[in-house]
Amino acid sequence: MKTKYLLSDEQIPRHWYNVLPDLPAPPAPVLHPATLKPVTPDDLAPLFPMALIEQEVSMQREIPIPDEIREALARWRPSPLYRARGFEKAIGTRSRIYYKYEGLSPAGSHKPNTAVAQAFYNAKAGVRRLATETGAGQWGSALAYGGQLFGLQVTVYMVRVSYEQKPYRRSMMHTWGAEVFPSPSDRTNCGRAILRETPSSTGSLGIAISEAVEDAATHDDTKYALGSVLNHVILHQTVIGLEAQEQMKMAGDYPDVVIGCHGGGSNFSGIAFPFLRDKLHGKSVRLLAAEPASCPSLTKGTYTFDYGDTARMAPIVKMHTLGHDFVPPGIHAGGLRYHGASPLVSLLVDQGLVQAVAFMQRPCFESAVLFARSEGIIAAPESSHAIRAALEEAKRADEEGKERVILFNLSGHGHFDLAAYDAYFAGKLEDFDYPREAVERSMAKLRWRCNAIAARARGARTSR
Ligand SMILES: Cc1ncc(COP(=O)(O)O)c(C=O)c1O
């Protein structure tokens, strides 16, 4: 009755898997937010070190992981793969469920996989400080840790609703030496403008990104770090899926479906993209992204060009979006409250290679409680969406009289989210419907820009 599949330190992947050369269609160009022209490496240089800009556009399928990064990763990688025997029994399913557990990293999620890589490349380029946004605090704490490891100062703009809901994430960031401000804040022009218009703004990832980008763009010694969405972030997360492939071999199984929750797309892509490579080579495997019904960019968003942030300072990318000034309801899965999605995942959804599903937060918590009681691990509210998806896949297989192999990414633990569990037990957790009117308002504002942006983009397909 084997329960966990472990790899040795030497088996930490030596290369990241870059999906770009394997895409079924060329990615759309990334556009400059002011000129609407395709961005050049020079445009991005105020925000990112050149090594990361190169990774963003690289067509090399396997990119070597520097020893310094592998050493840093070795503190928690390879992460274990578990067979969820207790959860299977609790569901009463005939399917076999496996999960890759990313909650053993110092910050408790998958985010340090890219935080240490980004901190390493920035430190190597002589950068002194990093500015970033964070939703639930997982990314902010991961970057605070990564910055500490490579001698960088870190400034975090934390979405206000999470800043208030999750004080201990702040404490973690402080412990690792970072400074943390609730966003919108009065430290940036865009934060002040939003506070003037909506003094009680709960904030959003889009707003916090604007503040961090403005901070980096206005300070010579500072660069910006993003915890998801971008190609290089997804690249760094592929260690998850590469390890999982080895571990599934040890288990003598291969997944019928690979699941990850979806905010900006990095943990989903991290586990799914190495399996996508198999799929493109003829393997039968479904890839399923699970997102919140209150912020359903993949299932209800429009696939179009939009700004990555609320104040329209970040580059414009083609993605599934709900509109850059859409502020999602304050669900507890703060890390999934992003108006857009990774351009790579968006393209693959558009091409039918990735599927998406959306859930309300209460059924997710219900599944996470069942999981905690049967497997022991208390999941992050974000990860509970993947648990829910795995449970529904198993139940569907049973109804169809099938036995499936289900693999999901348990992206983090919920030890700092226990107030959300308390709210669930007290019956105080609200299920937010799809906020149709707010999305329509935001998309209407975007629409008039879209045509102009798309027209200019048509002439520039190869810019990336
Ligand atoms: C635990 C956890 N899982 C998932 C996510 C979603 O992010 P992404 O879609 O980039 O993996 C977050 C974001 O903060 C998170 O903290």
What residues form DSSP beta bridges with 409?
100
Number of domains in the chain: 2
443 falls within a domain: no
Are residue 401 and residue 290 in the same domain, yes or no?
yes
Domain final residue pick, 230, 251, 277: 230
Q: Range of 193's domain?
A: 111-230
108 in Cβ contact with 138 (< 8 Å): yes
**Residues paired with residue 278 on neighbouring β-strands, in sequence order:** none
Residue type at position 76: W
Q: How far is the CA of 103 from the centre of ligand 1 (A)?
A: 11
- Domain identity same for 79 and 220: no
Return the pLDDT at 182. 97
- Same domain (yes/no): 311, 242: yes
Ligand 1, residue 270: give the atom nearest the CA.
Answer: 11
Q: In this structure, are 371 and 238 located in the same domain?
A: yes
Q: Is the CB of 386 under 6 A from ligand 1?
A: no
198 against 451, higher pLDDT: 198
pLDDT of residue 166: 83
Among 118, 411, 413, name the best residue to mutate to test ligand 1's pocket (greatest count of ligand atoms within 8 A of Cβ): 411
The answer, yes or no, to whether residue 454 has pLDDT greater than 70, is no
Distance 334 CA to ligand 1 centre (A): 9
Domain stop point among 230, 252, 284: 230
Give helix 167-175 / helix 138-149 axis angle, nearest 10°. Answer: 10
Please state the separation of Cα 21 from the chain's center in Å.
21
Encode pLDDT of 75-104 as tens digits: 999 999 999 999 999 999 999 999 999 999
Mean pLDDT for the chain overall: 94
Q: Is residue 440 part of a domain?
A: no
> Mean of the pLDDT values across residues 41-70?
97
Kindly state whether residue 454 falls inside one of the protein's structural domains. no
* 77 and 116, same domain (yes or no): no
What is the CA(462)–ligand 1 centre distance, in A?
A: 30
| Cβ–ligand 1 contact at 382 (below 6 Å) | yes
Average pLDDT over residues 302-330: 89
Q: What is the mean pLDDT of residues 412-418?
A: 95
**Domain-located, residue 394:** yes
Asked, for residue 374, whether it belongs to a domain, the answer is yes
Residues 240 and 118 in one domain: no
Quote the pLDDT of residue 364.
Answer: 97
Residue 330: per-residue pLDDT: 73
CATH code at position 160 = 3.40.50.1100
Q: Do 118 and 264 fall within a single domain?
A: no
**Do 117 and 145 contact (CB within 8 A), yes or no?**
no
Ligand 1: which of 336, 339, 346, 409 to mutate, judged by most atoms within 8 Å of the beta carbon?
336
At residue 134, the pLDDT reads 94
Q: Answer with the one of 198, 230, 262 that is the final residue of a domain.
A: 230
Q: Are both 280 and 309 inside the same structural domain? A: yes
d(CA 14, CA 294): 38
**pLDDT score recorded for residue 463:** 44
Residue carrying structure tokens 């990860």: 383
pLDDT at site 135: 87
* Residue 389 belongs to a domain: yes
Ligand 1 in reach of 416 Cβ (< 6 A): no
Q: Sheet of 81-83: strands edge to edge?
A: 4-5, 81-83, 96-101, 405-410, 257-261, 286-292, 355-359
Whole-prediction pTM: 0.95
Residue 281 CA, ligand 1 centroid: distance in Å: 28
Say whether both 305 and 421 belong to one domain.
Answer: yes
Residue 267: inside a domain:
yes
- Report if residue 20 sits inside a domain: no
State the CB neighbour count (10 A cutoff) for residue 254: 15
Q: Which atom of ligand 1 is nearest to the CA of 263?
A: 9
pLDDT above 50 (res 186): yes
- Cβ of 109 below 6 Å from ligand 1: yes
Ligand 1 within 6 A of CB of 137: no
Q: Does residue 387 share a domain with residue 256?
A: yes
Residue nearest to atom 7 of ligand 1 (CA): 263
Checking if the pLDDT of 334 tops 80, the result is no
Q: For 427-437, how does the pLDDT look when each residue is reduced to its tens digit (9 = 90+)?
A: 999 888 888 88
Residues 280 and 399 in one domain: yes
For residues 374 and 376, what is the distance between their CA atoms, to the nearest angstrom?
6
Predicted local distance difference test score (pLDDT) of residue 43: 93
Do 349 and 331 belong to one domain? yes
Q: Please determine, for residue 111, whether its predicted confidence score (pLDDT) is greater than 70.
A: yes
